[in-house]
Chain A
Amino acid sequence: MLNSTVYSFFAQERRIIRYNKGKQPQIKISDLYQIPIPQDLILMDNISTLVDKIYADAIHIEKYKAKINCLLYSYYELGNSEVDIINESIEAFLQ
């Protein structure tokens, strides 16, 4: 779940991932506790199943990661435009 785009976006925007150009990005462990982890059992179960598939089937990792992202978009009720903003923001951050 932490590898999902939603959580990377959250971590980048909340400066949980601290990055200044030319420097090594840093994550402080105390900041990690800001990350909210959903307690919805159905969501957790679905993601858990996909995580198992990722570890069992390395060839299709991207497919399962996309499914986890979709589950989280749905859970947080994010529309297409919001998902686009997230993806663009992450792309910009990575450059």
Chain B
Amino acid sequence: MKEKNIKSLLENALVENDMVVANPSLSEKENRVREEFIKLMKDKGLETDDYEIKTIDDVSVFFILKSPEKYIMKAVYNFMPEDNKVEFDTILFKKEMDETETTPEEDSIEDVKVDVVEDLEEGRIYKAVKGLNTLTEKKISRYLKGIKNKKRIGFGEKIIYDNPKVYIRQSAKELIASYDDKLSSANNSLYLFSLRDCSNESILFLK
């Protein structure tokens, strides 16, 4: 695939998907595709917390979540690490991402051409792949199956992260709460209550 097509592909993904997954794993070796991807993300104002990169075998999987409608688009690139070129096969996924999510069966996978990305229908999984072997496909499929229950650590809503809040323990024989007016977030073991502003009235109420 030509580099400009990759750009176009990612641009399309970003237009349709303005939100995101946390947990970037960028410690692995970066290549041109990753750099291009990260640059495009940055141009769109997205930081590394806003997407996820997963390597399955030699395939880099880029996840960009569209939060409000709960759709996920995944661009998967099978790159060639040895020569570091961007001539690789491509898969595009777009499927519903909610509690009723099921992993598409293999027989629902359809071969389509990469350049018809704008024609993707929700709830379907597509592939345009020449080089991926069956084992890798199965691994990606398994990963997709598990993603809805995947533990994610993120900052939550920024407005809550930024403003005063009260943390409340979920499991205790007494009410145990803690006020915090600093920039902070917590994992799922704490309830978090915020009035989403830092007015004096809100601070008084929270304390």
Cβ-defined partner of B173 (8 Å) among A2, A41, A44, A94: A94
Instruction: Determine if B1 is an interface residue (Cβ-Cβ < 8 Å).
Output: no
Instruction: Determine if A29 is an interface residue (Cβ-Cβ < 8 Å).
Output: yes
A27 touches B171 (CB 8 A): yes
A2 with B171: in contact, given A41-B204, A45-B204, A48-B203 (CB under 8 Å)? no
Instruction: Determine if A90 is an interface residue (Cβ-Cβ < 8 Å).
Output: yes
A94 with B171: in contact, given A2-B166, A47-B207, A48-B207 (CB under 8 Å)? no
Cβ-defined partner of A8 (8 Å) among B170, B171, B175: B175
A81 contact set on B, CB distance < 8 A: none
Q: Report whether over half of chain B's contact residues are helix, strand or loop; otherwise say mixed.
A: mixed
A94 contact set on B, CB distance < 8 A: 173-174
Q: Mark A1-21, 1 if CB is under 8 A from B, else 0.
A: 111000110011000010100
Q: How large is the interface on B (under 10, 10 to 19, 20 to 34, 35 or more residues)?
A: 10 to 19
A83 contact set on B, CB distance < 8 A: none
A17 touches B174 (CB 8 A): yes
The CA of A11 and the CA of B179, in the complex, are separated in Å by: 19
A25 with B173: in contact, given A32-B191, A51-B179 (CB under 8 Å)? yes
Name the CB-closest residue of A to B193. Answer: A32
A residues 4-61 touching B (CB-CB < 8 Å): 7-8, 11-12, 17, 19, 24-27, 29, 32, 37, 41, 44-45, 47-48, 51-52, 55
Name the CB-closest residue of B to A26. Answer: B171
Instruction: Determine if A75 is an interface residue (Cβ-Cβ < 8 Å).
Output: no
Q: Report whether over half of chain A's contact residues are helix, strand or loop; otherwise say mixed.
A: helix
A2 touches B177 (CB 8 A): yes
A1 contact set on B, CB distance < 8 A: 207
A8 touches B168 (CB 8 A): no
B168 contact set on A, CB distance < 8 A: 2, 27, 32
A93 to chain B, nearest CB (A): 6
B191 touches A48 (CB 8 A): no
Q: What 3 A-B pairs have minimum CB-CB distances, sorted nearest first? A: A2-B177, A48-B207, A51-B207
